[in-house]
Structure 1
Amino acid sequence: MRYPTRTEGGIRYLDAGPESPTGVTHLLVHGLGGSLEQWTAVVDELRPTTRVVAIDIPGFGHSRTRRGHFAVPDAVRDISGFLDARGIDRCVVVSHSISCVVAAGLAAARPAGVTKLVLVSGALVRASELAQHPGLALRDPALGLAVAAQFAAGVVPVPRVLLTALAASRLLRTATLWPFVASPTGVPTEHLVEALSGSGSLAVLRILLSAHSIDHHRLLAAVEQPVELVVGDRDRLISPSDVARLRAIMRVTRVSVIPDCGHWPWLENPAELAALITSPERA
């Protein structure tokens, strides 16, 4: 379903679900070139039992600007101010893909306020190195193509009418969605159109051009909170070696693998993703 959104402190957001008995809110942070709409199906699953807040990272979604301004420190500051304004003192931050750096910055800035990170498709160690040093694509052309597809897809906003046409065509789905999902023709049409309706921003191009100056390793290593990873078993950007390397950087307490899933679990299997986000760790 569609949710009403509001804007506070320059942050567009939706706020749904009851207050948790523990006082913990689930904060959903979209990925590269996305918007809070990508989480719609996950919010449907979460809101009966927990308070969930999804936001547009400043510079993305409906808050995108013509020049595509974006910087990680600015985003962390603005989101932190938003949490203060909304009275969100304790939250689990759930991020997708490269927004793991924003989530990490937020966790480091709010050590008492962020209780845990859930990085969905966020074990991007090799992909981040390739973005900083494009020449590495010569060693791994398949990864290079997948990374290039992610950036290219995130730059240009796509009108809803074109998204509807894409969703209606098996050929167009297969041609455009193969880098992102395991089964392009298996995604429900209504989820596809809604999730991508706010996507595209020139901020993606700015991130690519400034990738060399983003210390991905340092940002992740600064996180003291426990970290859970959720990975699709057919994600073209993430390998077991990426997960192993991230374990060496962060305090990873659980790794969950969603079968028959690519880089977009929030679109391919929102019910299982929601269950993993809220499930307690096993002893």
Structure 2
Amino acid sequence: MSEVQPVGMPKWGLSMTKGQINDWIVEVGDELAVGDDVVEIETEKINGVLESPVSGVVRRRLAEKGSWVPVGGLLAVVADPSVPEEEIDRFVEEFQASFTAEEEDEESAEAGPESVEVGGRVIRFVSQGDAGDPVVLLHGFGGDLGNWLFTVPALAERHRVHALDLPGHGGSSKDVTPGDLDSLARTLLGFLAVRGIERAHLVGHSMGGLVAMAAALRDPGRVASLALVASAGFGAEMNGGYLDGFVRAGSRRELTPVLRLLFADPDAVTRQLVDDVLKYKRLDGVDAALRLLAGELFPAGTQRHVLVDEAARLGLPTLVVWGDQDQVIPPSHASRAPAHARVEVIGGAGHSPHIERANDVNRLLESFLSGATTRGDGSR
């Protein structure tokens, strides 16, 4: 480790090219440990907090609040107090002179979304990571693979990670007929078969957690573990107003307050996020798909399928994560987790803790997945 160390703008998601400094959490002179919060960053998609990749004393902050910095650009310099100011100056000068903003090259293009045909439907997905046990990430109702923009790169350091768009969502086929849970589970298992994945760790958020449990019940030999984030399927209760509002919303004014229900901090919802969701909702076939799925899975604003007890009998390693301020599915549902499950309720997080408290959730997922693999539950 060099004496002078950079803290750069991270890359959260395949499409991120820059980030804006919302607010600094540390001051010059503060002592940092690896993992300490450094700065709040806003991307075109969502807000996040950068954790320090290094330890030492903050000697310089190179970006002002409100400024935009390209991915990889210098945000701060960390060094031991004994390092002379002249050496810090030289490090910053050399870094800035040699830095070039990231451009989309062949390698990054290859890492972009792909599509496969599963059961007559096109399913869009993205894969990262060259080694390790396969992990499949499943988004919630109305979401897409982009909801895992903070999760994919973190898990891809040790795993082969696949995030996919479920039928009716993102870039996948919008025909979801018959729209029931079994058809979603069969699509997931079909995706594993088409991609040659014999056994995978399934990580599901909200509706995605329900689909993960259904797939495990249908073919438990294909599932190494379950990580369920604010998952459906733990009880009948839910915020039916959120679901109805999401399906009906056709304007920024209507959609913004609905999306804010996903987070403890409503400011996490950016204008770009609202615009992206509106753009998706206006695609041909989306309205019919959402209405069919909502009617089949969540009739009259309740959860039709409560699978947690049945899934518990499979004995799979299970992680349950909830935000204590979830306004969509009651955080009290975490108490219904299997007796053998690891349960974590995250303070200051809403229905999307994997976005709002991404660093905490990523640590939980990595610890859990490492343990499941150690126990021999992560065969490929």
Confirm or deny a common fold (TM above 0.5). Answer: yes
Write the deviation string for residues 128-186 of structure 1: whole angstroms up to 9, x where unpaired: x24xxxxxxxxxxxx6xx3321342256688xxx6xxx9xxxxx96x444311011224
Equivalent in the alignment of 1:15: 127
Shift of 1:279: 0.6
Measure the CA separation in 1 of the matches of 2:151 and 2:129.
Answer: 12
Measure the CA separation in 2 of the matches of 1:15 and 1:198.
Answer: 24
Measure the CA separation in 1 of the matches of 2:182 and 2:192.
Answer: 15
Change (3 A) 1:198 1:71: farther
Equivalent in the alignment of 2:346: 258
Equivalent in the alignment of 2:367: 279
Equivalent in the alignment of 2:221: 112
Give structure 1 stretches of 5+ with no counterpart. 131-142, 167-171
Equivalent in the alignment of 2:190: 81
2:338 pairs with 1:242: no
Select which of 221, 232, 236 maps to 2:310: 221
Change (3 A) 1:34 1:111: same
Q: State the AA in 2 paired with 1:81.
A: G
SS at 1:62 equivalent:
coil
SS at 1:61 equivalent:
coil
Equivalent in the alignment of 1:99: 208
Change (3 A) 1:218 1:66: closer
Contact 1:45-1:274 at 8 Å conserved across structures: yes
Q: What TM-score does the superposition give when structure 2 sets the normalisation length? A: 0.57
Measure the CA separation in 2 of the matches of 1:116 and 1:193.
Answer: 33
Shift of 1:208: 2.7
Shift of 1:36: 0.9
Contact 1:39-1:195 at 8 Å conserved across structures: no
Measure the CA separation in 1 of the matches of 2:339 and 2:211.
Answer: 17
Q: State the AA in 1 paired with 2:290.
A: V
Measure the CA separation in 1 of the matches of 2:323 and 2:345.
Answer: 6
Change (3 A) 1:45 1:196: farther
Equivalent in the alignment of 1:184: 266
2:243 pairs with 1:150: yes
Change (3 A) 1:80 1:11: same
Q: State the AA in 2 paired with 1:273.
A: V
Q: State the AA in 2 paired with 1:261.
A: A
Change (3 A) 1:148 1:252: farther
SS at 2:149 equivalent:
helix
**What do you get for the CA RMSD once the two structures are aligned?**
3.3
Contact 1:187-1:267 at 8 Å conserved across structures: no
Equivalent in the alignment of 2:324: 233
Greater strand percent: which structure?
2
Shift of 1:46: 1.7
SS at 2:137 equivalent:
strand
- Point out the more displaced range, 6-15 or 218-227: 218-227
Contact 1:38-1:195 at 8 Å conserved across structures: no
Measure the CA separation in 1 of the matches of 2:248 and 2:177.
Answer: 10
Greater helix percent: which structure?
1
Measure the CA separation in 1 of the matches of 2:306 and 2:268.
Answer: 35
Give structure 2 stretches of 5+ with no counterpart. 1-12, 15-110, 376-380
SS at 1:216 equivalent:
coil
Tell me the number of residue pairs that the alignment of Structure 1 and Structure 2 aligns. 248
Shift of 1:97: 0.6
Equivalent in the alignment of 2:54: none
Select which of 152, 159, 163 maps to 1:43: 152
Shift of 1:15: 0.8
Shift of 1:222: 4.1
Shift of 1:271: 2.1
Q: State the AA in 2 paired with 1:221.
A: E
Measure the CA separation in 2 of the matches of 1:121 and 1:196.
Answer: 20
Measure the CA separation in 1 of the matches of 2:163 and 2:206.
Answer: 15
Equivalent in the alignment of 1:206: 292
Which structure would you say has the larger Rg? 2
Shift of 1:195: 8.1
Contact 2:137-2:164 at 8 Å conserved across structures: yes
Select which of 355, 362, 368 maps to 1:267: 355
2:166 pairs with 1:57: yes
Measure the CA separation in 1 of the matches of 2:202 and 2:181.
Answer: 16
Equivalent in the alignment of 1:135: none
Contact 1:68-1:204 at 8 Å conserved across structures: no
Higher relative contact order, chain-length normalized (CA < 8 Å, sep 6+)? 1
Shift of 1:241: 3.8
Write the deviation string for residues 245-266 of structure 1: whole angstroms up to 9, x where unpaired: x23xx45410112221100123
